[in-house]
Every structure is written in C-alpha cells, then in structure tokens.
Amino acid sequence: MRYDTARMRHIGMALGYPRCCVDHFCGSLDRGVFPADGLQDGEWRGTGFVPCPDHAGRIAREGMAAVLPSIEANRLAPFPFQFGHGAGPDLVQEYVDALDAAAA
Ligand SMILES: [Zn+2]
C-alpha cells in the first residue's frame, strides 16, 4: 500500500506532533514499514499520534507530559490533543476532511 506521506506530514505538523515523530512515521511508511508496530501500548494509543522511538521512551519514563506541552504549543488544529480510545481518530478525521474541503 502506498501512503500520501507528504499530506500526512502536513497533517502531523498541523496537529503539533514533534517533527522527529512525524519524520519517523512518514519515513517508515515511505520505506513500506508501518511504524506503529511495537509503539502502540502507550497513553497515546487510539489518538492517531505515533511517537518516534526516542519520544516513546521519554513518554514511558515521564508520561505524556514529556511531549504534550510541545504538541499544544505547536498545534494549529482547533481542538486539544485527542486522548481517549475511539474518540480521537474521529476528531482527527473531521479535521482532515475540513482541510481537504478547504484545499479543494
Ligand atoms: Zn519524536
């Protein structure tokens, strides 16, 4: 499966995710590897955010406080970071649909 990683990179940055995490996620997809493997058991599970290995380690030690202030500071999306299983991806999808509608 091919992914539109240029678009995903744009969305990841608009959601305020650290550049290293966006690079890791999109770079893995560009190499045909789904990057969530082994990284899905943290507090971010179900949010759509997939940390890079460095951030996954920091979050494991410090909790989401290791990354949340930076996400909130850099976020352009008009809703807070989407904690909660199931609710998050819907919010993200709504935002992505709105971005697509604006770009059409
Ligand atoms: Zn990172």
Tell me the mean pLDDT per 10 residues along the chain, length 104.
83 92 92 69 75 90 92 87 62 76 76
Report how far ligand 1's centroid is from the alpha carbon of 50 (Å): 9
Tokens of 68: 């949340």
Give the pLDDT score at 54: 92
What are the b/e assignments for 59-94, b being 16+ CB within 10 Å?
beeeebebbbeebeeebebeeebbeeeeebeebbee
- Residue 35, SS3 per DSSP: coil
Report how far ligand 1's centroid is from the alpha carbon of 56 (Å): 8
Give the pLDDT score at 41: 65
Question: What residues does the ion ligand 1 have nearby, CB within 5 Å?
Answer: 18, 20-21, 52, 55
Domain ranges of the chain: 5-103
